[in-house]
Amino acid sequence: MDKFTTLTGVAAPLPIVNVDTDMIIPKNFLKTIKRTGLKEGLFYEMRYAADGKKLDFVLDRPAYQNAKIIVGGPNFGCGSSREHAPWALLDFGIRCVIAESFADIFYNNCFKNGILPIKLPKEEIAKLMDDAERGANAVITVDLVNQEIKGPDGGTIKFDIDPFRKQCLVEGLDDIGQTLQAAPAIDSFEASQKNAQPWLSMKI
């Protein structure tokens, strides 16, 4: 998993309440277990009409095609617990989602996949949403180390995050990475257990 320390990029506004995981990545894109190629399905039903014609969705507008941040509405990521949702966002290039609130499973899945979800009060979301409406000028910086967001006009917003989750993102550790850090201790335990209880490792 890529490390997350400081992210500077265009923020795309998505002022929609209850953006669910089916909106983020529809069910017909869930056949793969690969984490790549999913950007084509990201917000598919909001980007394309039934006849395949492209709609005027924010992430397809020239100013936001390289967006790295989404400023969303409350209860972002609600619905089913599909991990393809953060995979699709990441494949598009989104590394941070800022919203008033998140569905718990989506929130947890973001951290496991290298995406930083930030919860902020309604008033501060409104400020960032206003910044994001500026198109290509909507460049903000998310500093995870110092836990602050800097807007295009230089204003700063502080945010809270669980210290353990922060450490995992800064060090680029997913669940497997965390386990590998403990590999020497695991190997030592297995060796001592084999000596103390050799019958447990006997092949039958």
Which has the higher per-residue pLDDT, 99 or 138? 99
pLDDT at position 137 is: 86
pLDDT for residue 202 is more than 70:
no
Specify whether 74 is located in the same domain as 109: yes
Domain count of the fold of the chain: 2
- Whole domain around residue 204: which residue ranges? 174-204
Q: Phi, psi at residue 32, to the nearest 5°?
A: -95, 150
pLDDT grade for 195, boundaries at 50, 70 and 90: confident
Q: How many Å apart are CA 51 and CA 12, to the nearest integer? A: 26
pLDDT value for 136 = 81
Q: Is the pLDDT of residue 180 over 60?
A: no
Q: Among candidates 153, 86, 162, 81, which has minimal Cα distance to 119? A: 162
75-95 mean pLDDT: 95
CA–CA dist 69, 138 (Å, integer): 10
Instruction: Note whether 162 and 178 are same-domain residues.
Output: no
Residue 187: its pLDDT value, please? 65
Q: Are residues 193 and 132 in the same domain?
A: no
Answer yes or no: is 1 within a domain.
Answer: no
pLDDT for residue 24 = 97
